[in-house]
Amino acid sequence: MSILTKYLDKLGVGSPKDLSADEKQQFDSWNKVLSEGPITVEKIVDFCKAQKGFAETKLSDLDNSTQKNERLIILNNVYGKIIGLVERPQVEKESLEKYLNSLILDIPK
């Protein structure tokens, strides 16, 4: 029995279907938070990529003020650095493995 089900039972509500529209919206929001599981590095990277994409899209708006563009550039750079920080070790590992494999192939038997 989930904590939300226990809460509904305590309130005397038989099912989420019996909730009002506002209550149902809150229930769904809580249920989403409780069911997502732990935050992973992949989720952080996905979030950063989405935010970086958002900033890049907004930068193409010709009606932006100089201040807004400066902030978007900063956001784009920060999210890009976070993505690079997370993905760089994997890229470096793959590059090193490729290099070592090429050395192995070059060694005569």
pTM of this prediction? 0.59
Domain ranges of the chain: 3-35, 41-106
pLDDT digits (tens, 9 = 90+) for 20-34: 888 889 988 888 888
Quickly state the pLDDT bin for 1 (edges 50, 70, 90): low
Residue 39: helix, strand or coil by DSSP? coil
Cβ neighbour number for residue 33 with a 10 Å cutoff: 8
DSSP string, 60-88: T-TT--HHHHHHHHHHHHHHHHHHHHHHH
Contact of 59 with 83, CB cutoff 8 Å: no
CA distance 53 to 79: 9
Residue type, 42: E
